[in-house]
Structures are given as C-alpha cells and as structure tokens.
Amino acid sequence: MEAIKIGQSLTIKRCPHCSIAHPNMSLQSQFKTSDKAQRNSRTWSIFYCTSCGGVLTVSSNPSHQNGFFEIFPSFKGLDGSIPEKALSFLSQAMETIHAPSASIMVACSALDEMLKQKGLREGKLYPRIKKAAENHLITPEMETWAHEIRLEANDQRHADESVALPTMDDAKRVLDFVLALAEFLFVLPSRVRKGISDAKAE
C-alpha cells in the first residue's frame, strides 16, 4: 500500500477519483473512534481533491508503524495479465480521466487492442466487435456497450460540432466498460488458469 503523509493536506501519488498526479487533497474533517471495549483507536480524516471534488477517507492508528492504516477508496491498479499494449492504453485512459476527450479516445484504443489480442485484427472496429460477439468472446450486452463506446470515441475523433464535449462522468463510464472487458477477456481467465494449476500442484 502506498505510503502517505497526513496533515492539513494529504500526500498521495494519484487521486483515485480523477487519477490526477500528486493531487491537492484538502483536510475537511477529523474525528476519533474506538471499539466497544475502547480498543482499536483510530483517527479518521476526511479529505477532498481540489481538482475533481472527490472525497477520500483516511484511517490512521497512532500505534501503527507509520501512523497509517487504510485509505478509502484506494487507487485501482491494473492486472499484469492484460497484454502490454492494452495495459499501456488503459493506464493512459486512467491518468487522463480529468481530460475526458483524451481519456475516451485512448480507452477506445485499449478496446481495439484487446480485440486484436484475441485474433480480431482485420477491418474496422465495428465488424470486429460484432465478430467478437458471434465468436462468444463477449456477451450480446457487452457488444451493445462496446458499440456505444466506439461511437463516443468517434465523436471525439471527428470533433462533431453538434455533439457536446464529454464530461468526466462520460469518461468514467467509458473507462468502466474497457476495464470490465479487460477483466472478462484476460484477468478472469488468468485467475482460472492459476487456480487450476494450483489445484493440480497440491
């Protein structure tokens, strides 16, 4: 877990809400709790990111080695079972979530790359998404969602004047889908293979 420094501001590498690097996290409130036996004393600090307004709760324990216990929500890392190029695109999409247009376009690049890693390399993205559903790589619901993401990215690439600029919520929705697809196509199968391998080794 990443080391943090707690004071009137919070020092962390990235905001778990908007992914901005070295966010300005401002202290809003602080209080102490303990269990019914007056043990497990903790100090709870509430911070908010001045960039996106997202709130973090930090639990610290004076008896803990670094005075640090937990942070909610924690920054989501990416699983190493995702192919390298798609992993890079996903990381960039997360890091640029505060710049929605950029995040959406690079998230769609991650979608494109993941389909290529599954052997769907020929033609434009639309027929490859359709083929992924026909080959049962994705569910019909995921196909519909994938097409919506593709259209979102097209709007940004072509700078359609009739389309409003995307919000951070739009970018998060796109990123949620691409992360779910990565989990479905690569992370879960990797965990299943590891589970089978571990079971055989016992």
DSSP state of 21: B
Can you give the pLDDT of all 202 residues of the chain as single tens digits? 344 555 677 788 888 888 787 888 989 999 989 889 888 888 888 999 998 899 999 888 766 555 556 888 876 678 889 999 999 999 899 888 888 889 999 999 999 999 999 999 988 888 999 999 999 999 999 999 888 888 787 766 655 666 678 888 888 889 989 999 999 999 999 989 888 888 887 7
SS3 of 70, please?
strand
CB atoms within 10 A of CB 44: 16
CA angle, 51 as apex, 45 and 56 as ends, to 5°? 25
pTM of the model: 0.68
